[in-house]
Chains A and B, each alone.
Chain A
Amino acid sequence: MYDIVVIGAGVTGAFISRKLARFNLNVLLIDRENDVGNVTSNANSAIVHSGYDPVPGSLKAKFNVLGNKMFDQISDELDVHFYRIGSITVATSEAQLDMLKGLLERSHENGVEARILSKEELRDLEPNVSPNALGGLLAPTAGIVDPFNLVAHAVENAVDNGVVLHLDEEVIDIKDLKNHFVVKTNKASYESKVVINAAGLGCEKIARMVEDVDWHLTPRKGEYFVLDHYDLGLVNHVIFPLPSEKGKGVLVSLTSSNNYIVGPSSELVDDTEDFSTDGPTLGDVRRQATDLIPSIPFNQVIRVFSGIRPTTSRHDFIIESSKVNPNFINVAGIESPGLVSAPAIAEYVVDEIVSKLLNLEAKKSFNPCIKKYAKLNELDNKAREELIKENPEYGKIICSCEKVSLGEINDLFARSVPPHTVKAVKKRVRAGFGKCQGGFCSPYVTLIIAKHYGINPTEVKWDKDGSEILLEEVKHA
């Protein structure tokens, strides 16, 4: 019998599991994907929002602001890139200037530091901003984070502290036996006293396995451009337009890896599995972005992608026990600002909800820090040289665009959340993230994965089942 089964190893499930790992509990974390953080947490703007714009009093406002304050410590403990570069919401008309004042008031209501920038101040901070820009709202606490390793390392830390992780396993039914639940997956059944539903886009489906909930989720798709490492200084902050009912709008930002990201679009869709992109939508993103920053070099685009986030009928996060059984906890609709809110949501779920259901006894051995990764690109030549002497694999570069060594890739396999796919390697160490998009390194990475797992290269997947990269080995003679 598990104390808790957490369904979903996205950013929400990851931080809830890590928080639960602080206590003497048997915790099982299940995800149907073959890697953690593989759906909504994998494809978003990767912004640690300041919390200036959610409706005061909403869960979004509360957890965004609390979560933002936690990120310095989290990024340190989990060895994740995080930079507080600040955000600027840009006004391009007199009417928008008035709206900025409203936003400033809202910031203060939410307890978020912010101030209005004059046209001149704005131009000083952001020389490439549109000549039409009349002013901005600076929120200095906003930041950018590596969303992939944020989730991977949070789960790694949870697993290192005793949480059991089952990937590639889909929950197909939950039986509420009143004193406990039976969580049935496509592979096994598990008994658990408490179930936490953090299944992202799948939350409503999972919730309806135990209760006819009064809320529903609508998938909302956002399409993005990613630009190559380009001259630093295109933008120095996260640049937002004024928010609308559709969300925060198309932003232009530096990323934690010194790329630039432009997006997202925002369209309600029916299909949670349709991650396609299309020309007209991206064209629209491009137009909106160039309204803010006219000189975006779109010839430096190396990738486009789309993410799908769950919007709720309540227009706010849903974080509550089920009405039919308080031991079933829904953590649903964690759309933007979900990434920044997740650590604070985890605190709340465990301290305020789980604590009333289970006896929480602190685990003495809990270590909030993961073992630091060797990141050769952050070392000076001398330190790099020393590492190569210890392990020559650090001297063999596999991905020449992002300068990722064989040693760094092989290190991943020794961790508690090792990658199984080419995409998972890409997310962890950025092999294939550069200008050639894996053109040169993907054959190496494919063969490295095959060798590590002792499988034929034709079995290596790009991502999910059915995404094998190679179809046939030729010439068996």
Chain B
Amino acid sequence: MSKDLTCIVCPRGCRLHIDDDLNVTGNSCPRGAQYAKDELTNPKRMITSIVRVKNRENCMASVKTSVSIPKGKIFDILKEIEKVSVNAPTHIGDVVIKDVLGTGSDIIITKEIK
């Protein structure tokens, strides 16, 4: 099953075509080719979200998955993130969930809050 898709690896947004034999055209870089292959076999996404900072008023700290996670697990992982809160100060890279749902990805803080 060949497919036309828009590359999301960078803001350039190349229009990719991948055929049944996983040959990719339209890409401007190797990461685009890899993206198209992954998209056909095992689509993955980075997720970014927020967690509550308990000791600050109406304040959220941003988080992300440390590596891409399977697309199908996005909402399950968000449910895990929902369970977590933190206290300030927060630092970029602080791990709030280790190896979330066994995906190999940690949920890490992306924002410095004093």
Stretch with Cβ within 8 A of A (4 or more), from B15-23, B24-32, B34-42, B81-89: B81-89
Size of chain A's interface in residues, with CB distance under 8 A?
7
Most interface-central of A457, A474, A475, A476 (chain B CB within 10 A): A475
The contact of A477 among B57, B58, B84, by CB within 8 Å, is B84
The contact of A476 among B50, B52, B57, B58, by CB within 8 Å, is B52
Q: Give B49's nearest chain A residue, CB to CB.
A: A475
Tell me the bound Cα distance from A201 to B48 in angstroms.
Answer: 50
Q: Give B83's nearest chain A residue, CB to CB.
A: A477
Most interface-central of A447, A474, A476, A477 (chain B CB within 10 A): A477
Tell me the bound Cα distance from A451 to B57 in angstroms.
Answer: 10
* CB of A298 to closest CB in B, whole Å: 34
Contact check, A477 vs B50: say whether CB atoms are below 8 A apart. no
Size of chain B's interface in residues, with CB distance under 8 A?
10
Residues of A with C-beta under 8 A to B5: none
Taken residue by residue from 436 to 477, chain A's Cβ proximity to chain B (1 for < 8 Å, 0 otherwise) reads as: 000000000001000100000100000000000000001111
Q: Give B60's nearest chain A residue, CB to CB.
A: A475
Residues of A with C-beta under 8 A to B51: 475, 477
Tell me the bound Cα distance from A457 to B59 in angstroms.
Answer: 12
Contact check, A474 vs B50: say whether CB atoms are below 8 A apart. yes
Contact check, A475 vs B58: say whether CB atoms are below 8 A apart. no
Residues of A within 8 A of B (CB): 447, 451, 457, 474-477
Question: 18 A–B contact pairs at CB < 8 A?
Answer: A447-B57, A447-B58, A451-B57, A457-B58, A474-B50, A475-B50, A475-B51, A475-B52, A475-B60, A475-B82, A475-B85, A476-B52, A477-B51, A477-B52, A477-B82, A477-B83, A477-B84, A477-B85
Q: Enumerate the 5 nearest inter-chain pairs by beta-carbon distance, A residue then B residue, closest first.
A: A477-B85, A475-B52, A477-B83, A477-B84, A447-B58
Known A475-B52, A477-B51; 5 more pairs at CB < 8 Å: A447-B58, A457-B58, A477-B82, A477-B83, A477-B84
